[in-house]
Amino acid sequence: MYDQLSLYPITNSKRLSLSLDGMWNFCFDPASIGEKENWMSGLHSSISLPVPSSFQDLFTDQYSKNYCGDFWYERDFFVPEHDGNIQLRFGSITHRGVVYVNGVKVTEHEGGFLPVLCDITSCVRKGEVNHLSVKANNELNERSLPCGAVKTLKNGTRIAAPYFDFFNYAGLNRSVYLVLLPEERIQDYSVNYTLNDQDALVDYEVRTNGEHEVKVSLFDKEGNCVAQSNGKKGQLKVEKAHLWKVRNAYLYTLKIAIEDGGKLIDAYEDKIGIRTVKVEGKRILINGEEVYLKGFGKHEDFDIIGRGFNLPLLKRDYECMKWMNANCFRTSHYPYAEEWYRFADEEGFLIIDEVAAVGMMRSTHNFVDAGMGKYTSFFETPTVPELLKNHLSQVEEMITRDKNHPSVFAFSLFNEPETTSSFAHDYFAKVFEKAREIDPQHRPMTGAFEKNSAPEKCQCYMLVDFMCLNRYYGWYISGGPDISDAVEKFHDEMKRWEAKGFNGPIVFTEFGTDTLATEHKLPSVMWSQEYQCEYLEENFKVFDTYDFIQGELVWNFADFQTTEGIFRVNGNKKGVFTRERQPKDSAFVLKRRWENK
C-alpha cells in the first residue's frame, strides 16, 4: 500500500505526472446493474460531469441531488510510450470505488477521503488511447467511515441518512493523475527531527523497491546544499538550522535519488520543515515554545462544487484566516485534499489532521442528542469488528500520506463518538495504539469529545495526549436569555475536569451559534449577528479563566451545507464567514481577540 501513497505527484527528469482532470462521462446506476452489463467497457448512456467536483449540486432536480447508490465515471486517456511503471492516482473516491482500465479491474478501495492507487502497467496499451472507468458508491453504513444509514422512501427512492451534520457529498472530489515512473523507484520517505542548540538532526528513512544506492540531500531556500547522506536510512546534520515556526514557515527542499554508479535511476523532491512537537503538562510546544491555538473547524464545502477541490477557494480561505491572525485549523471531519496541507506548510499554519471517524452515535440529529444524555449502544453491535478494521486502515493511510507535513502537529482519531462504555474504550484503545505505532514523528494523538463525554462518564479521555472538547453552552444548552445559566454550567464542567486531574491541555475544537448574515436584533436574539458576537465573548471569558485551556477553534469557519431539516436553514449557519467567504460581524470580534492573544 505504500507505493506512491504518501508521495504527491511531481514531474522531473525521471517522473511524469499527467492530470486527467476535466469533463468525464457520468451516469447513475440505481439498480446496480453496471457490472453485469459490462459498463466498465463503456457506459450505455451518460452525461458530462467535471472532475474534480461532487455531483450533487450540479443538477437541478431533487432525485440527482439526493441520489444514493452506485454511480459511474469514465473517460479515455492516452498513455505515452514508457518502459517503467504506470499508475493511476485518485486523490479520493467517495466513499468507495472500483477502478477498471480497458475493462480490467485494477483495484478497489474503501474510504472516501484518501488516495486510491492503481498499478496499471500490465493492462494499458502504450502509445495508444485507453479506457478508464470507475464504479463508485456513496451509501452510508455502520461498517465504514463516516457512519450513517440508508433510508428507503415509500416510493422506493433511497436517500442517505447520515449520523453527522454535514451533507453527504460524493464523487471524484479530487484530482486524478496518470503517473509514469521508473521500474526501480522511490516509494515513500519519512523524516523526524531533533534540535541541538542552533543545529538540527534530520533522521530519514527512504523506501524503494530495489537495492541500488540512495542519496539524500537537503537544500535551503537559496538552493545551497546544507546536508547530504547516503543510504536508505540515515541522518542529516543541519548547522544553524532555520526552524519551521507557527505563521513563520521556513521550508527546506529534500531531494532523494536512486543512483547506479553515478547514473540516475529515480528522483523525488519535496519541501520539509524542521520543527518539533511536544505536549508537556498543560502546554503544547512547537520547537519548545508554547503555542495557543487560534482558528477553526472547517469543511471542504462550497456552492456548486460541493466538496470538490478548488484552488481559488483554498487561496481565499487562507487569506481570510491570515487576516484574522488565526494559526490553526482542524480538518473536520475527514482528511482534506493534499493541497490544503502543502499550503499550510508554506504559510505556517498548524493542522489537527482528522480521520473520517464521525457519526459513531446512532442519531441523525446527533448535534442535539449529543448533549441530552442519549446512549445508542453503538460499540456493542455485530458490525464493530468490520468498522474497526476500516478505521485502522484509514488511520494508517492518513498518517502515511500526511506524516511529513510540518503543518500537521497532531492527529485526531475520532469526532464525537459515544465514549461512555468499556466497549468504546476497548475499541479506541486499539486505534490509538495503531496510530502511535506508525507515526514516525510521535506526534500527539487526540480526539474530539461531545457533551455526553462528561468527566464522570467518559471512558476514553485518558487515551489522548491533549483533549479536544466540542461544547455549545449558550446554543444547544441554555441559549438566548438563559445564557447566564450556560456560563455557570460551562464553569461547572471545567471545574469538574480540573478536579478529575487530566494532566494535559484542553483545546475547544467546536463552539458556535447558527447565525443569519441578514439578521440583526437589539437586544440580541438567537440567530442574530449580535447574539453570535455576545456568545463568543462569553466563551472567551471562560477560556481565559483556566490555564489548562490552550486553544479555541471556532465552529465554523464558514457556513456549510447539511441534510435538510427544521434545525437547519439551507445548511449549518455557524460560520464566521458566509458560504461565499464574506465576514459576519463575529469575524471582527475574533480578529481583535486573536491579534492580541
Residue 559 CA to residue 364 CA, distance in Å, equals: 19
Bridge partners (DSSP) of residue 202 are 193, 236
Q: Are strands 47-51 and 85-90 parallel, antiparallel or unpaired?
A: unpaired
Q: What is the pLDDT of residues 45-61, one digit of tens each?
A: 999 999 999 999 999 99
Instruction: Note whether 170 and 296 are same-domain residues.
Output: no
Is the per-residue pLDDT at 2 higher than 50?
A: no
State yes or no: cis peptide before 52, omega within 30 of 0.
yes
pLDDT at 1 over 50: no
Domain CATH for 153? 2.60.120.260
* Domain identity same for 505 and 366: yes
Which pLDDT does position 364 carry in this prediction? Answer: 65
User: Taking Cα atoms as reference points, which of 40, 189, 195, 180 lies closest to residue 120?
Assistant: 180
Please write the tens of the pLDDT for every residue from 95-133. Answer: 999 999 999 999 999 999 999 999 999 999 999 999 999
Instruction: State residue 527's pLDDT score.
Output: 96
Catalytic residues: 416, 510
Q: Decide if pLDDT at 34 tops 90.
A: yes
pLDDT of residue 3: 54
pTM equals 0.96
The rounded radius of gyration (Å) of the Cα atoms in the chain is 24
User: How many structural domains are present in the chain?
Assistant: 2
Contact of 538 with 485, CB cutoff 8 Å: no
Q: 581 and 440 in one domain? A: yes
Domain-embedded: residue 274 = no
Domain boundary, last residue among 174, 195, 215:
174
Confidence of residue 376 (pLDDT cuts 50, 70, 90): confident
Answer yes or no: is 192 within a domain. no
Q: What is the mean pLDDT of residues 131-153?
A: 97
pLDDT-based confidence at residue 366 (cuts at 50, 70, 90)? low
Q: What is the mean pLDDT of residues 11-15?
A: 97
Q: Is residue 9 part of a domain?
A: no
pLDDT for 300-312, tens place per residue? Answer: 999 999 999 999 9
Q: What is the CATH number of the domain that holds 383?
A: 3.20.20.80
DSSP string computed for 466-506: SEEEE--BTTTBS-GGGHHHHHHHHHHHHHHHHHHT--S-E
Residue 547 lies in a domain: yes
Among residues 174, 201, 228, the one where a domain terminates is 174
**Mean pLDDT across the stretch 20-43?**
97
The order of strands in the sheet holding 116-119 is 16-19, 176-181, 85-90, 116-119
Domain span including residue 528: 291-594
Residue 193 domain-assigned (yes or no): no
pLDDT level of residue 403 (50, 70, 90 thresholds): very high
Mean pLDDT of the chain: 96
Separation CA 117–CA 224 (nearest Å): 34
End residue of a domain, out of 159, 174, 189: 174
State in Å, rounded, how far the first CA of the chain is from the last one: 43
Higher pLDDT, 181 or 261: 181
- Angle, in degrees to the nearest 10, between helices 483-500 and 529-543: 30
More confident residue, 502 or 584: 584
Q: What is the pLDDT of residue 6?
A: 72
